[in-house]
Amino acid sequence: MTQRLHLVFGGELIDPTKNAFKNVDDIHIVGIFPDYASAYDAWKSEAHRTVDNAHMRYYIAHLHRLRDEETSASSTEELE
């Protein structure tokens, strides 16, 4: 069975219209979850907890998309 791992993380952004964190050292790692539903629940909880701060954002990263189990090493692309 294939695992579909998801990472929930967030922090304060420099500008709420962009996705650049104010301080990368302060990123809050909520956790890694075995499925999207549990990751979504964790994301929603953190997003609601910080709703009064317009600069705070939480994200769900689909870790399972970063690996290709058919090849020995997955290619990755640095995003700008």
Q: Which residues pair with 31 in a beta bridge?
A: 8
Sheet of strand 56-62: strand arrangement: 28-33, 6-12, 56-62
pTM: 0.78
pLDDT digits (tens, 9 = 90+) for 46-58: 999 999 999 999 9
CA 4 to chain CA centroid, nearest Å: 14
pLDDT digits (tens, 9 = 90+) for 2-52: 778 999 999 999 999 999 999 999 999 999 999 999 999 999 999 999 999
Between CA 42 and CA 65 the distance in angstroms is: 19
How many domains is the chain built from? 1
Question: Does residue 46 belong to any structural domain of this protein?
Answer: yes
Supply the range of the domain harboring residue 48: 6-26+35-66
Between CA 79 and CA 5 the distance in angstroms is: 20
Token code pair at residue 17: 């219209």
Question: Does residue 62 belong to any structural domain of this protein?
Answer: yes
